[in-house]
Structure 1
């Protein structure tokens, strides 16, 4: 299946990454990616566009070497986008990072986590606490 022009364009975007990952990204780009600004991030063994059969074989070997089972490549995207969502990214920011034009897919990554719910509650309480302290600066309750 060849990607349509629309899919190819959606796959091209600039996203910021944590600085601590940059050395690993540089190593990957220098070792496994196509050359130049138009080079593909993942290429096949002969330097052409990666084909599903080549990727599946390579992924299976990597998963076996890591002693993992039931782990799919898309799980990396899911985990990363869940972390982005939990970092406080807005729905639009998540959509931009993922390359989606609708909210449907982005909402999948907006898992509710108790830690995040606690952070939201604490953030909601902060302005109320500040307002109350202005009304009662000495804390006397009068």
Structure 2
């Protein structure tokens, strides 16, 4: 479930995934509230505020993710509001440490033969997909919790791949089917 959340909730770092509690999910409005991060300082420190105030936000949960999330919550998470979505293995009253999450992800990526992938690549993938789907820089900034446009611009590289598609669409408008047929006859 952490992988899906990291991709579909594009702005969610591993630290943010670790800090999620049941109360952060509203299935009625399909909203995930991002309001804290799991500290990486040491094992004893737990939850802190995100790096920037823009990082505290609500994100829409894709409808495709709702049934998986519902199944996950019913099967793996106690129904209390303060229960961690991903509790620490040694003490379920504590959230998982980002290193623990990365360790589980490392096992999974090795299983599928993709040792080159990092957990942060999931965030990058989600934001890149948004850019490909036409998200503006402002939308990327909001989804990622970025405070400046320069940071969000790194996901715009995906737009470069669309230039060919856009050129073809422009050509179709400039030269509708009838014109192309006429050109072929010559």
Q: TM-score, normalised by structure 2?
A: 0.54
The 1:9–1:101 alpha-carbon spacing in structure 2 relative to 1, beyond 3 Å, is closer
Does residue 64 of the first structure (1) align with residue 113 of the second (2)?
Answer: no
Are the equivalent residues in 2 in contact too, given 1:33–1:42 (CA < 8 A)? no
Which structure shows the bigger proportion of residues in strand conformation? 2
TM-score, normalised relative to structure 1? 0.68
Q: Determine whether 1:83 maps to 2:150.
A: no
The structure 1 residue matched to 2:150, chosen from 104, 123, 128, is 104
The structure with more radius of gyration: 1
| Equivalent residues in 2 for 1:11-50, closer than 5 Å | 11-30=55-74, 31=76, 35-36=80-81, 40-45=84-89, 46-47=91-92, 48-50=94-96
Larger RCO: Structure 1 or Structure 2 (Cα < 8 Å, ≥ 6 residues apart)? 2
Runs ≥4 residues deviating over 4 A: 8-11, 32-35, 38-41, 123-126
Indicate if the aligned counterparts of 1:33 and 1:43 stay in contact, CA closer than 8 A: no
Aligned length: 127
Runs of 5+ consecutive residues of structure 1 not aligned to the other structure: 130-142
Distance 2:131 2:119 in 1: 19
SS at match of 2:116: coil
The CA RMSD measured in Å over matched residues stands at 3.2
* Structure 2 gap segments, 5+ residues each: 1-40, 176-186
